[in-house]
Amino acid sequence: MKNEIKIFCSEDWVDYELLDTGDGEKLERFGPHTFVRPYEEAVWSKTLKKEWEDVNGKFWSSKSGGKGGLASLKQRGSGWKMSKVPFDTKWEMEYKGIKFLASPTPFRHLGFFPEQATHWDFIESKIQGLALDKSKARPLKFLNLFGYTGVASLFALRAGAEVTHVDASKQTLNWAKENQRLNAELVQGPMRLIEDDVIKFLEREIKRGNKYDAIVIDPPKFGRGPKGEVWKIEEMLPKLLFLVQKVLSDKPLFVILTSYATDSSSLSLGYALAESMTKFKGQTEMGELCVLEKSNNRMISLAYTAIWVL
Protein backbone atom coordinates (compact mmCIF):
# COMPACT_ATOMS: atom_id res chain seq x y z
CA MET A 1 0.00 0.00 0.00
CA LYS A 2 1.34 3.39 -1.00
CA ASN A 3 1.14 6.19 1.57
CA GLU A 4 -0.78 8.43 -0.80
CA ILE A 5 -3.95 10.35 -0.06
CA LYS A 6 -6.34 10.42 -3.01
CA ILE A 7 -9.24 12.77 -3.70
CA PHE A 8 -12.46 10.98 -4.62
CA CYS A 9 -14.99 13.35 -6.17
CA SER A 10 -18.00 12.93 -8.45
CA GLU A 11 -18.77 15.92 -10.64
CA ASP A 12 -21.73 14.24 -12.35
CA TRP A 13 -24.51 15.46 -10.05
CA VAL A 14 -27.57 17.19 -11.51
CA ASP A 15 -30.01 17.08 -8.56
CA TYR A 16 -27.45 18.14 -5.94
CA GLU A 17 -25.07 21.11 -5.61
CA LEU A 18 -22.75 22.34 -2.89
CA LEU A 19 -23.34 26.03 -3.46
CA ASP A 20 -21.02 27.60 -0.89
CA THR A 21 -19.23 27.06 2.44
CA GLY A 22 -17.87 29.29 5.17
CA ASP A 23 -18.14 30.41 8.79
CA GLY A 24 -18.79 26.85 9.97
CA GLU A 25 -21.65 26.14 7.56
CA LYS A 26 -22.39 24.77 4.09
CA LEU A 27 -25.13 25.80 1.66
CA GLU A 28 -26.55 22.96 -0.44
CA ARG A 29 -29.25 22.37 -3.05
CA PHE A 30 -31.12 19.07 -2.86
CA GLY A 31 -33.36 19.02 -5.92
CA PRO A 32 -35.78 21.98 -5.58
CA HIS A 33 -34.83 22.77 -1.96
CA THR A 34 -31.83 24.51 -0.42
CA PHE A 35 -30.54 24.00 3.12
CA VAL A 36 -27.90 25.38 5.44
CA ARG A 37 -26.10 22.68 7.42
CA PRO A 38 -23.25 22.86 9.94
CA TYR A 39 -19.75 22.25 8.60
CA GLU A 40 -17.36 23.10 11.40
CA GLU A 41 -14.30 22.58 9.19
CA ALA A 42 -15.23 25.64 7.10
CA VAL A 43 -12.92 28.07 8.89
CA TRP A 44 -13.01 30.58 6.03
CA SER A 45 -15.49 33.26 4.95
CA LYS A 46 -18.57 32.69 2.82
CA THR A 47 -18.38 33.70 -0.83
CA LEU A 48 -22.10 34.13 -1.60
CA LYS A 49 -24.43 36.55 0.23
CA LYS A 50 -28.17 36.60 -0.49
CA GLU A 51 -28.26 32.90 -1.38
CA TRP A 52 -27.71 32.06 2.29
CA GLU A 53 -30.98 33.77 3.26
CA ASP A 54 -33.25 32.42 0.52
CA VAL A 55 -33.34 28.83 1.76
CA ASN A 56 -35.94 26.22 2.74
CA GLY A 57 -34.41 25.22 6.05
CA LYS A 58 -31.44 25.45 8.35
CA PHE A 59 -29.91 22.77 10.52
CA TRP A 60 -28.33 23.87 13.80
CA SER A 61 -25.41 22.09 15.39
CA SER A 62 -25.58 21.22 19.08
CA LYS A 63 -22.02 22.57 19.28
CA SER A 64 -23.37 26.10 18.79
CA GLY A 65 -25.37 25.90 21.99
CA GLY A 66 -28.68 24.32 22.86
CA LYS A 67 -30.09 21.33 21.04
CA GLY A 68 -29.22 20.70 17.43
CA GLY A 69 -32.07 20.39 14.98
CA LEU A 70 -33.84 21.80 11.97
CA ALA A 71 -35.19 25.32 11.79
CA SER A 72 -37.73 26.04 9.08
CA LEU A 73 -38.63 29.42 7.66
CA LYS A 74 -42.45 29.35 7.65
CA GLN A 75 -42.89 32.79 6.12
CA ARG A 76 -40.35 35.07 4.56
CA GLY A 77 -39.29 37.74 7.06
CA SER A 78 -40.69 35.92 10.08
CA GLY A 79 -37.29 34.70 11.25
CA TRP A 80 -36.16 31.16 11.93
CA LYS A 81 -38.62 29.02 13.89
CA MET A 82 -37.21 25.90 15.50
CA SER A 83 -39.04 22.68 14.66
CA LYS A 84 -39.01 19.72 17.01
CA VAL A 85 -40.11 17.53 14.12
CA PRO A 86 -38.32 17.90 10.77
CA PHE A 87 -40.19 18.60 7.56
CA ASP A 88 -42.72 15.93 6.60
CA THR A 89 -41.85 16.55 2.96
CA LYS A 90 -40.16 13.89 0.90
CA TRP A 91 -39.08 14.49 -2.65
CA GLU A 92 -37.51 12.41 -5.37
CA MET A 93 -33.83 12.68 -6.28
CA GLU A 94 -31.86 10.92 -8.99
CA TYR A 95 -28.25 10.06 -9.73
CA LYS A 96 -27.40 8.42 -13.06
CA GLY A 97 -30.82 6.81 -13.37
CA ILE A 98 -31.18 5.54 -9.79
CA LYS A 99 -34.04 7.26 -7.94
CA PHE A 100 -34.28 7.78 -4.18
CA LEU A 101 -36.13 9.95 -1.67
CA ALA A 102 -34.68 12.93 0.19
CA SER A 103 -36.10 14.29 3.43
CA PRO A 104 -34.67 16.20 6.40
CA THR A 105 -33.90 14.09 9.47
CA PRO A 106 -33.06 14.96 13.10
CA PHE A 107 -29.48 13.93 12.40
CA ARG A 108 -28.79 16.71 9.86
CA HIS A 109 -28.85 14.18 6.99
CA LEU A 110 -31.34 14.13 4.14
CA GLY A 111 -31.39 10.40 3.45
CA PHE A 112 -28.18 10.07 1.45
CA PHE A 113 -24.62 11.37 1.35
CA PRO A 114 -23.86 13.17 -1.95
CA GLU A 115 -20.10 12.74 -1.54
CA GLN A 116 -20.54 8.96 -1.76
CA ALA A 117 -21.59 9.16 -5.41
CA THR A 118 -18.04 8.28 -6.40
CA HIS A 119 -18.47 5.03 -4.45
CA TRP A 120 -21.74 4.30 -6.26
CA ASP A 121 -19.93 4.71 -9.58
CA PHE A 122 -17.11 2.42 -8.40
CA ILE A 123 -19.52 -0.26 -7.14
CA GLU A 124 -21.49 -0.42 -10.37
CA SER A 125 -18.41 -0.31 -12.59
CA LYS A 126 -16.60 -3.11 -10.75
CA ILE A 127 -19.60 -5.43 -10.64
CA GLN A 128 -20.46 -4.83 -14.29
CA GLY A 129 -16.82 -5.32 -15.26
CA LEU A 130 -16.79 -8.73 -13.63
CA ALA A 131 -19.97 -9.73 -15.45
CA LEU A 132 -18.51 -8.69 -18.81
CA ASP A 133 -15.35 -10.76 -18.29
CA LYS A 134 -16.60 -14.19 -19.40
CA SER A 135 -13.54 -15.93 -17.93
CA LYS A 136 -14.33 -14.55 -14.46
CA ALA A 137 -18.11 -14.07 -14.59
CA ARG A 138 -19.97 -15.55 -11.60
CA PRO A 139 -22.97 -14.67 -9.45
CA LEU A 140 -21.70 -11.89 -7.16
CA LYS A 141 -22.90 -11.44 -3.60
CA PHE A 142 -22.80 -7.86 -2.31
CA LEU A 143 -23.06 -6.95 1.39
CA ASN A 144 -23.88 -3.42 2.54
CA LEU A 145 -23.20 -2.96 6.27
CA PHE A 146 -24.76 0.06 8.02
CA GLY A 147 -26.58 0.35 4.69
CA TYR A 148 -28.75 3.38 5.60
CA THR A 149 -31.39 4.11 2.94
CA GLY A 150 -29.87 1.80 0.36
CA VAL A 151 -28.61 3.96 -2.51
CA ALA A 152 -25.34 2.00 -2.77
CA SER A 153 -27.34 -1.23 -2.61
CA LEU A 154 -29.46 -0.13 -5.57
CA PHE A 155 -26.39 0.55 -7.72
CA ALA A 156 -25.06 -2.93 -6.86
CA LEU A 157 -28.46 -4.44 -7.64
CA ARG A 158 -28.67 -2.71 -11.01
CA ALA A 159 -25.21 -3.97 -11.85
CA GLY A 160 -26.40 -7.55 -11.36
CA ALA A 161 -25.35 -8.45 -7.82
CA GLU A 162 -27.33 -10.36 -5.19
CA VAL A 163 -27.63 -7.75 -2.43
CA THR A 164 -27.80 -8.14 1.36
CA HIS A 165 -28.46 -4.82 3.10
CA VAL A 166 -28.05 -4.60 6.89
CA ASP A 167 -29.03 -1.73 9.18
CA ALA A 168 -30.11 -1.53 12.83
CA SER A 169 -32.91 0.98 12.17
CA LYS A 170 -36.33 -0.28 11.10
CA GLN A 171 -37.30 3.21 9.97
CA THR A 172 -34.22 3.43 7.76
CA LEU A 173 -34.92 0.01 6.24
CA ASN A 174 -38.46 1.14 5.40
CA TRP A 175 -36.90 4.13 3.63
CA ALA A 176 -34.65 1.73 1.70
CA LYS A 177 -37.74 -0.25 0.63
CA GLU A 178 -39.34 2.96 -0.61
CA ASN A 179 -36.22 3.76 -2.61
CA GLN A 180 -36.27 0.31 -4.20
CA ARG A 181 -39.94 0.74 -5.18
CA LEU A 182 -39.08 4.01 -6.94
CA ASN A 183 -36.96 2.00 -9.39
CA ALA A 184 -39.50 -0.23 -11.12
CA GLU A 185 -36.89 -2.33 -12.88
CA LEU A 186 -35.29 -3.22 -9.53
CA VAL A 187 -38.40 -4.00 -7.47
CA GLN A 188 -38.17 -7.74 -8.11
CA GLY A 189 -34.37 -7.79 -7.85
CA PRO A 190 -32.60 -10.02 -5.31
CA MET A 191 -32.14 -7.64 -2.37
CA ARG A 192 -32.54 -8.73 1.26
CA LEU A 193 -33.15 -5.98 3.82
CA ILE A 194 -32.14 -7.10 7.31
CA GLU A 195 -32.69 -5.27 10.61
CA ASP A 196 -29.80 -6.32 12.82
CA ASP A 197 -26.75 -5.28 14.78
CA VAL A 198 -23.88 -5.55 12.28
CA ILE A 199 -21.48 -7.36 14.62
CA LYS A 200 -24.08 -9.96 15.60
CA PHE A 201 -25.12 -10.40 11.98
CA LEU A 202 -21.52 -11.06 10.89
CA GLU A 203 -20.96 -13.53 13.73
CA ARG A 204 -24.02 -15.50 12.64
CA GLU A 205 -23.00 -15.39 8.98
CA ILE A 206 -19.61 -16.87 9.90
CA LYS A 207 -21.33 -19.74 11.72
CA ARG A 208 -23.65 -20.28 8.76
CA GLY A 209 -20.73 -20.29 6.32
CA ASN A 210 -22.19 -17.50 4.15
CA LYS A 211 -19.69 -15.63 1.99
CA TYR A 212 -19.71 -12.34 0.07
CA ASP A 213 -17.66 -11.08 -2.87
CA ALA A 214 -17.96 -7.33 -2.26
CA ILE A 215 -18.61 -5.46 0.99
CA VAL A 216 -19.35 -1.82 1.81
CA ILE A 217 -18.84 -0.66 5.42
CA ASP A 218 -20.14 2.76 6.46
CA PRO A 219 -20.19 2.75 10.26
CA PRO A 220 -21.42 5.66 12.37
CA LYS A 221 -19.17 7.22 14.98
CA PHE A 222 -21.72 6.24 17.63
CA GLY A 223 -24.96 4.29 17.45
CA ARG A 224 -27.21 1.65 18.96
CA GLY A 225 -28.43 -1.65 17.59
CA PRO A 226 -32.08 -2.78 17.57
CA LYS A 227 -31.67 -4.24 21.08
CA GLY A 228 -29.70 -1.34 22.49
CA GLU A 229 -26.26 -2.61 21.48
CA VAL A 230 -23.74 0.23 21.76
CA TRP A 231 -21.49 1.00 18.80
CA LYS A 232 -18.36 3.16 19.11
CA ILE A 233 -16.20 3.20 16.01
CA GLU A 234 -12.86 3.65 17.78
CA GLU A 235 -13.56 0.57 19.92
CA MET A 236 -15.37 -1.67 17.45
CA LEU A 237 -13.63 -1.11 14.10
CA PRO A 238 -10.83 -3.69 14.65
CA LYS A 239 -13.38 -6.39 15.52
CA LEU A 240 -15.60 -5.35 12.62
CA LEU A 241 -12.78 -5.67 10.08
CA PHE A 242 -11.75 -9.03 11.54
CA LEU A 243 -15.28 -10.35 11.07
CA VAL A 244 -15.59 -8.84 7.59
CA GLN A 245 -12.58 -10.73 6.26
CA LYS A 246 -14.09 -13.93 7.68
CA VAL A 247 -17.18 -13.59 5.47
CA LEU A 248 -15.31 -12.75 2.29
CA SER A 249 -15.30 -15.31 -0.51
CA ASP A 250 -12.07 -16.89 -1.78
CA LYS A 251 -12.03 -14.37 -4.65
CA PRO A 252 -13.35 -11.07 -3.28
CA LEU A 253 -13.77 -8.15 -5.64
CA PHE A 254 -13.60 -5.13 -3.30
CA VAL A 255 -14.12 -3.78 0.21
CA ILE A 256 -15.03 -0.12 0.84
CA LEU A 257 -14.67 1.49 4.29
CA THR A 258 -15.94 5.01 5.02
CA SER A 259 -15.83 7.11 8.18
CA TYR A 260 -17.32 10.45 9.20
CA ALA A 261 -15.63 10.46 12.60
CA THR A 262 -13.65 13.68 12.85
CA ASP A 263 -10.95 12.03 14.98
CA SER A 264 -10.21 9.36 12.36
CA SER A 265 -8.20 9.85 9.16
CA SER A 266 -7.88 8.31 5.72
CA LEU A 267 -4.43 7.03 6.74
CA SER A 268 -5.77 5.21 9.79
CA LEU A 269 -8.62 3.69 7.76
CA GLY A 270 -6.21 2.64 5.02
CA TYR A 271 -3.76 0.99 7.39
CA ALA A 272 -6.55 -0.83 9.25
CA LEU A 273 -8.20 -2.11 6.07
CA ALA A 274 -4.90 -3.14 4.49
CA GLU A 275 -3.94 -5.11 7.59
CA SER A 276 -7.27 -6.95 7.63
CA MET A 277 -6.86 -7.94 3.95
CA THR A 278 -3.31 -9.34 4.07
CA LYS A 279 -4.48 -12.89 3.22
CA PHE A 280 -5.83 -11.64 -0.14
CA LYS A 281 -4.01 -10.30 -3.16
CA GLY A 282 -4.98 -6.76 -4.05
CA GLN A 283 -4.30 -3.11 -3.37
CA THR A 284 -5.60 -0.62 -0.78
CA GLU A 285 -6.20 3.03 -1.62
CA MET A 286 -7.11 5.71 0.89
CA GLY A 287 -8.34 9.24 0.59
CA GLU A 288 -11.09 11.79 1.14
CA LEU A 289 -14.60 11.92 -0.27
CA CYS A 290 -15.10 15.41 -1.64
CA VAL A 291 -17.71 17.55 -3.36
CA LEU A 292 -16.92 20.38 -5.76
CA GLU A 293 -18.03 23.74 -4.36
CA LYS A 294 -19.87 25.78 -6.99
CA SER A 295 -19.07 29.26 -5.65
CA ASN A 296 -15.31 29.06 -6.12
CA ASN A 297 -14.45 25.60 -7.47
CA ARG A 298 -12.87 24.24 -4.28
CA MET A 299 -12.81 20.56 -3.36
CA ILE A 300 -14.58 20.25 0.01
CA SER A 301 -13.70 17.15 2.03
CA LEU A 302 -16.65 15.54 3.82
CA ALA A 303 -15.51 12.02 4.77
CA TYR A 304 -12.54 9.67 4.91
CA THR A 305 -12.39 6.42 2.96
CA ALA A 306 -10.26 3.38 2.19
CA ILE A 307 -10.84 0.94 -0.65
CA TRP A 308 -9.33 -2.52 -1.09
CA VAL A 309 -9.70 -3.87 -4.61
CA LEU A 310 -8.48 -7.03 -6.28
Tell me the mean pLDDT in the region 134-146.
Answer: 82
Dump the DSSP string for 158-175: HHT-EEEEEES-HHHHHH
Distance in angstroms (rounded) separating the CA atoms of residues 149 and 101? 9
pLDDT band of residue 220 (cuts 50, 70, 90) is confident
- In a domain, residue 3? The reply is no
Same domain, 48 and 98: no
Query: 268 and 249, same structural domain?
Result: yes
Q: 98 and 71, same structural domain?
A: no
Q: Can you tell me the mean pLDDT for 18-46?
A: 95
pLDDT tens-digit series, residues 155-183: 999 999 999 999 999 999 999 999 999 99
Same domain membership, residue 114 and residue 61:
no
pLDDT at 290: 97
- pLDDT score for 85: 40
pLDDT at 273 over 80: yes
Is there a single domain that holds both residue 149 and residue 250? yes
| pLDDT score, position 225 | 61
Average confidence score pLDDT of the chain:
89
- The mean per-residue pLDDT over the stretch 138-163 comes to 96
181 shares a domain with 113: yes
CATH number at residue 36: 2.60.40.1180
User: What's the chain's Rg over C-alpha atoms?
Assistant: 20
Q: What is the DSSP letter of 43?
A: -
Assess whether 46 and 99 both reside in one domain. no
Q: What local confidence, expressed as pLDDT, does residue 42 receive?
A: 96
Q: How confident is the model over 64-110, as pLDDT tens digits?
A: 544 545 665 443 445 555 444 445 689 999 999 999 999 988 778 89
pLDDT value for 69: 57
Out of 83, 113, 133, pick the residue that ends a domain.
83
Domain span at residue 71 reads: 13-83
Least confident among 41-55, 216-230, 264-278:
216-230
**Based on the domain organization, do 66 and 184 belong to the same domain?**
no
Are residues 154 and 63 both part of a single domain?
A: no
Secondary structure (3-state) at 283: strand
Same-domain pairing of 105 and 53 = no
Structural domain includes residue 221: yes
For residues 100 and 191, what is the distance between their CA atoms, to the nearest angstrom?
16
- Report yes or no: 305 and 119 within 8 Å, Cβ to Cβ: yes
pLDDT value for 66: 43
User: Based on the structure, what is the number of domains in the chain?
Assistant: 2
Look at the alpha carbons of 63, 147, 159, 102 in this order and tell me if their dihedral is positive or negative: negative
For residues 106 and 60, state if they share a domain.
Answer: no
| Predicted pLDDT of residue 241 | 97
pLDDT at 61 over 50: yes
How far apart CA 66 and CA 82 sit, in angstroms, is: 11
Judge if 74 and 95 occupy the same domain. no
- Neighbouring C-beta atoms of residue 9, cutoff 10 Å: 18
Residues 157, 141: contact at Cβ < 8 Å?
no
